[in-house]
Structure 1
Amino acid sequence: MQRRDFIKNGMLGLAGVGNLSLLQEALAVGATAARFSTAAPELAPFQGFTGSEAFDASDLRVEGRLPAGLRGVYYRNGPGLMARGGERYRHWFDGDGLVQAWSFGEAGVQHKARFVKTQKFRAETQAGRFLLPAFGTSFADQESRLPVRSADDVNTANTSVMKMDDGRLYALWEGGSAYELDPQTLTTKGVRAWSKELAGMPFSAHPKVEADGTVWNFGTQSGRMVVYQISPQGQVLRSEVFAAPGPSAMVHDFAVSQRYLVFLLSPIGMDMNALRGGESMLDAMRWLGNESTLVLVIDKADFKRRWVLETPAAMVFHFGNAWDDGKQIHLDYVEAPALPAVNERLRMIMAGQRPPAQNHPPSEPRFMRIRLGSDGAGAGGLGRGHIELQARDESVEFPVVDPRVVAQRYRHVYYPTAIDLGDRWGFNGLMHLDIESGRRERFSFGSDVVVEEHVLVPKPGSSKEGEGWLLGLGYDCKARRSFASVFDAQALSAGPLARVWLPYWVTYGFHGKFYAA
């Protein structure tokens, strides 16, 4: 399939804040425009910002003691703008991307955040209102706004980040192109085309980077998939476009082992009549709970060698890792509630309403073992094989592993977790799971803190998996301030070694990466 056909088919589915008084003034304007209020203190950051903010803070206050070897930049991405011109997005996934840079160096810790100035962001800033539909929000008068001609017209660049060995930094969104940013200033440089043939094709927000720097990624659009192998310097080594073997309306993440790429295609269909009738893409998605989740396995050495197996219906956003011994593939992921429940929860929090816990089952750890048959090569149809599943019942999300074991045999997975939270939204702790022994270790900040994804930063000079620090963000509901926390990954229950406090708060993000100096 040619690039132009892939994109054509896809379109059928489609100010400095160091001064806190200026920040509060900006937020007041945003709150009026958004008409956002909430009685749940943990939901306050969903108010969002106006899009004119430029966050800069240096010599941040450190509570505790930072490890001397923690040197580098922690980049993080997430939705930061939720409202314009009196209109507010209905879904968390819709907000325009705000990329943060937490710099750890000899002079202390500095913080910077900038909005990704996509073509959508620039056009809507100039107009002072939303012009384009979003993933979970549509507008009844869309015909009076801008038409959607390509996926990048609605690209929010709001999900994750990736820095290549050539020094280039990218803001990622699963439905469209990567946006290049200046790694020092976070200034937006523009859309990245990995090659002339791949320009404009979807590049997901969850690329997998092996220890040698090799990048694997994918994209999906209207029943088609594309997979990439990219060198550490950003050159496309191989790519393949093919028909997805089943529903692929939402494929957010995947896993990579030594020999295979593994996708779980949740049973989510797209109601094209609803989409053409003006519903958002998310509203037009249909959960097909009576159908199977398809397990798509692709040979890394030959993208045309594919196997498809079936497992019971499951909603999956995020994977931890995978490894194989040539005969069996072992992987872990988090199973979320079915799509309708997820969307109801995310729409409630965007409206400032706390979702009742008793009506919303948690996301939980899952472990899968796959034995492949020999008949799937090149067929892409249902092949012989066998799948075994194991489950745990902790409330978790955003699993991460030591970056040195990506696509290799591994033992340790780390998650944000909810511990005795009751009805409060979000996570308030961290969990370390030893998947060989089943032993877990946890730490809770209590009921007044929201904990986000934490990544593992290897200690300089170490080689053993798990020898490192857990670094991530949190929000203190009482202080109304955001912070970065640093844990010894091998002594999680002892609590944070340090917390680094911002003099302001920032919106909740999705994913981040640390790059050593």
Structure 2
Amino acid sequence: MQRRHFLQSVGVATSAILAPAWAVSADNNPLKPAPLFHANSKLTCLRGFQGQDVQSEHAWIEGKLPSDLRGNFYRNGPGLFERGGQRYHHWFDGDGMVHAWRFTDQGVAHQARFVRTKKFVAEQQAGEFLVPAFGTAIKAKIPMRSADSMNAANTNVVQMGGRLLALWEGGSAHGLDAQNLQTQGVVTWAPELAGMPFSAHPKVEADGTLWNFGTMMGKLILYQFSPQGKLLKHHVMNGPNSAMVHDFVVSQKHLIFLFSPIALNIDKLKSGVSMVEAMEWQAQESTKVLIVEKADFSKSRLLELPALMVFHFGNAWEENNVIHLDFVKSADMGNFQNWMPKIMRGEDVSSEPSTPAFLSIDLSRQRISMTERSENLEFPRVDPRVVGQRNQFIYYPVAINKTENNALNGVMRLDRESGKTDSFDFGDRCRLEEHVVVPKSVASKEGEAWLVGVGFDIQRQTSFASVFDAQNLAAGPVALAHLPYWLPHCFHGNFYSSSA
């Protein structure tokens, strides 16, 4: 579907297309402007819902759904930001809302439910915030027994061992029923791991082996799971000092972490500010590169880079004792501490650029080299069949031709070998979330896949799922599945094919 056709068809959409009703009462209609959020139609997807679940049995399909794209596309993100006349200051604080986009022979259906954490249930009953949040200073009104007392379960959702896991990096995973998204409760992998942090960015290799980590009070917890979801081993070790480690990456033989130089000012924290406000960027310090052996978690080495900020990695692989990895690089914590609070107030302001970066880590010489590109982007993903193996392609949502802000409004494929890119620009009409790679068949090669994601249409004030041919992004989406309502913007998710 060419860009002009997409814009024309959306512009002439009739009111009949919007006929399917909300699965909530009129009093809880999330289209009603939030009182603590500036009336900004470009950022409607950051207003948040009021705690209601929603569903639509039949999305309106523009274009044609590929016949081999069948399965469940799960997404997770913060969905509620206000209670009792108070609004969270930071995007990371909202209560988790898990979405299921179900691709079937009958079309696309959508369902979304809030994760019923203890925090969510208690605060919904009270009608006010009861516990501190990561980026908002709130005085606790109930006992804080562990990090799970403030667990928002709002960052990612993965399928493991026959169930879904809603993830939040500071505490436990929450189990969900994959069919109806009902919350089953906190997951404990072993008695000694109760309440231990389980990050929102596990890495799953092609054979189903899952690796993850958690950080807490200077400690790094490492996990390995079988394809069936059985905990195979875990390890607790001392880690470099950093107040936040969001993601990591795996290669054939190693787990690799970048610890950005972020200090937590305890005095500020004691004075009553939030954790985000108490974090301090130490530009004079180095970024620590921790490399841990998969075969033996007790074996590791530590290297250094100049100070840089990283949230998300794409992939890693190694050859001739050299690890190659890619990530998205920012200069410091500016977006995290300044831009996010502004957009949470409804201010459509420009963010600092985040750009592709690439490391080569020579393990024999203990040396690191870095190269960079200039595109402004985030949320890198690779074909799931090459996680931890050599990959040719990386896919991103990207800010294209933006003058007023750096909103992600396009998708891009980067060929690591040639440096060439393929992209599509939605223009100023849309804001895009992460897009994931869905192989067309088990036997297909890397990149012979569909690129599936979610976006928000600013003019229509509704959300949609987009499907691209990953080999020809410039041709535009082959299909768009439009909902009759808008959704809170999500962070991460995964597609699970019916044939897998």
Distance 1:453 1:82, change over 3 A: same
TM-score (norm 1): 0.90
- Who is 1:120 aligned against? 119
In the alignment, is the contact (CA less than 8 A) between 1:459 and 1:468 conserved in 2?
Answer: yes
Between the two proteins, the alignment pairs up a number of residues equal to 480
User: What CA distance in whole angstroms lies between the structure 1 residues aligned with 2:466 and 2:443?
Assistant: 21
User: What CA distance in whole angstroms lies between the structure 1 residues aligned with 2:469 and 2:162?
Assistant: 28
User: What CA distance in whole angstroms lies between the structure 1 residues aligned with 2:423 and 2:33?
Assistant: 36
Q: 1:186 aligns with which of 181, 186, 190?
A: 181
Query: How far does residue 23 in structure 1 lie from its aligned partner after superposition?
Result: 6.0
In the alignment, is the contact (CA less than 8 A) between 1:267 and 1:291 conserved in 2?
Answer: yes
- Who is 1:241 aligned against? 236
1:260 aligns with 2:254: yes
Query: How far does residue 20 in structure 1 lie from its aligned partner after superposition?
Result: 3.7
Query: How far does residue 169 in structure 1 lie from its aligned partner after superposition?
Result: 0.7
In the alignment, is the contact (CA less than 8 A) between 1:220 and 1:248 conserved in 2?
Answer: no
User: What CA distance in whole angstroms lies between the structure 2 residues aligned with 1:285 and 1:516?
Assistant: 40
- Who is 1:203 aligned against? 198
Distance 1:466 1:21, change over 3 A: closer
- Who is 2:13 aligned against? none
Matches within 5 A, 1:100-119: 100-119=99-118
1:152 aligns with 2:148: yes
One-letter amino acid of the structure 2 residue matched with residue 94 of structure 1: D
- Who is 1:297 aligned against? 291
One-letter amino acid of the structure 2 residue matched with residue 506 of structure 1: L
1:498 aligns with 2:484: no
Distance 1:113 1:217, change over 3 A: same
Query: How far does residue 222 in structure 1 lie from its aligned partner after superposition?
Result: 1.4
Query: How far does residue 425 in structure 1 lie from its aligned partner after superposition?
Result: 4.7
Q: 1:364 aligns with which of 351, 355, 371?
A: 355
In the alignment, is the contact (CA less than 8 A) between 2:287 and 2:307 conserved in 1?
Answer: yes
Instruction: Describe the SS at the equivalent of 2:268.
Output: helix
User: What CA distance in whole angstroms lies between the structure 2 residues aligned with 1:18 and 1:187?
Assistant: 23
User: What CA distance in whole angstroms lies between the structure 1 residues aligned with 2:121 and 2:428?
Assistant: 39
1:436 aligns with 2:417: yes
In the alignment, is the contact (CA less than 8 A) between 1:194 and 1:234 conserved in 2?
Answer: no
- Who is 2:490 aligned against? 509
User: What CA distance in whole angstroms lies between the structure 2 residues aligned with 1:456 and 1:122?
Assistant: 34
TM-score (norm 2): 0.93
- Who is 1:3 aligned against? none
Distance 1:130 1:195, change over 3 A: same
- Who is 1:38 aligned against? 39
User: What CA distance in whole angstroms lies between the structure 1 residues aligned with 2:335 and 2:380?
Assistant: 21
User: What CA distance in whole angstroms lies between the structure 2 residues aligned with 1:133 and 1:30?
Assistant: 26
1:161 aligns with 2:163: no
Matches within 5 A, 1:305-454: 305-355=299-349, 357=350, 360-373=351-364, 385-454=366-435
User: What CA distance in whole angstroms lies between the structure 1 residues aligned with 2:117 and 2:165?
Assistant: 12
Q: 1:19 aligns with which of 18, 21, 32?
A: 21
User: What CA distance in whole angstroms lies between the structure 2 residues aligned with 1:265 and 1:296?
Assistant: 8
Instruction: Describe the SS at the equivalent of 2:340.
Output: helix
- Who is 2:223 aligned against? 228
Structure 2 unaligned blocks of 5 or more? 1-18
In the alignment, is the contact (CA less than 8 A) between 2:433 and 2:489 conserved in 1?
Answer: yes
Distance 1:341 1:488, change over 3 A: closer
- What does the per-residue CA deviation read over 1:454-500, in whole Å, with 9 as the maximum and x for residues that have no partner? 00000024331001000000010000010000000001100000000
In the alignment, is the contact (CA less than 8 A) between 2:24 and 2:54 conserved in 1?
Answer: no
User: What CA distance in whole angstroms lies between the structure 1 residues aligned with 2:295 and 2:23?
Assistant: 57
**Identity percentage of aligned residues:** 52
- Who is 1:4 aligned against? none
Query: How far does residue 59 in structure 1 lie from its aligned partner after superposition?
Result: 2.0
- Who is 1:10 aligned against? none
- Who is 2:68 aligned against? 69
One-letter amino acid of the structure 2 residue matched with residue 138 of structure 1: A
Distance 1:21 1:108, change over 3 A: closer
- What does the per-residue CA deviation read over 1:163-217, in whole Å, with 9 as the maximum and x for residues that have no partner? 01x3111100001000000001000000011112211100000000001100000
One-letter amino acid of the structure 2 residue matched with residue 156 of structure 1: A
In the alignment, is the contact (CA less than 8 A) between 1:75 and 1:512 conserved in 2?
Answer: yes
User: What CA distance in whole angstroms lies between the structure 2 residues aligned with 1:35 and 1:27?
Assistant: 16
- Who is 2:94 aligned against? 95
One-letter amino acid of the structure 2 residue matched with residue 489 of structure 1: A
User: Which range moves more in the overlay, 174-183 or 324-333?
Assistant: 324-333
User: What CA distance in whole angstroms lies between the structure 1 residues aligned with 2:143 and 2:327?
Assistant: 37
One-letter amino acid of the structure 1 residue matched with residue 231 of structure 2: V
User: What CA distance in whole angstroms lies between the structure 2 residues aligned with 1:417 and 1:461?
Assistant: 28
One-letter amino acid of the structure 1 residue matched with residue 21 of structure 2: N
One-letter amino acid of the structure 2 residue matched with residue 269 of structure 1: A
- Who is 2:210 aligned against? 215
User: Which range moves more in the overlay, 417-426 or 328-337?
Assistant: 417-426
One-letter amino acid of the structure 1 residue matched with residue 258 of structure 2: L
In the alignment, is the contact (CA less than 8 A) between 1:18 and 1:56 conserved in 2?
Answer: no
Query: How far does residue 361 in structure 1 lie from its aligned partner after superposition?
Result: 2.7
- Who is 2:47 aligned against? 47
Distance 1:21 1:263, change over 3 A: closer
Distance 1:29 1:332, change over 3 A: closer
User: What CA distance in whole angstroms lies between the structure 2 residues aligned with 1:18 and 1:81?
Assistant: 23
- Who is 2:6 aligned against? none
In the alignment, is the contact (CA less than 8 A) between 1:38 and 1:353 conserved in 2?
Answer: no
One-letter amino acid of the structure 2 residue matched with residue 212 of structure 1: D
One-letter amino acid of the structure 2 residue matched with residue 397 of structure 1: E
One-letter amino acid of the structure 2 residue matched with residue 79 of structure 1: P
Distance 1:154 1:69, change over 3 A: same
In the alignment, is the contact (CA less than 8 A) between 2:353 and 2:406 conserved in 1?
Answer: no
User: What CA distance in whole angstroms lies between the structure 1 residues aligned with 2:258 and 2:107?
Assistant: 42
User: What CA distance in whole angstroms lies between the structure 2 residues aligned with 1:24 and 1:408?
Assistant: 50
Distance 1:211 1:461, change over 3 A: closer
The CA RMSD measured in Å over matched residues stands at 1.6
In the alignment, is the contact (CA less than 8 A) between 1:30 and 1:49 conserved in 2?
Answer: no
Distance 1:21 1:344, change over 3 A: same
Instruction: Describe the SS at the equivalent of 2:120.
Output: helix
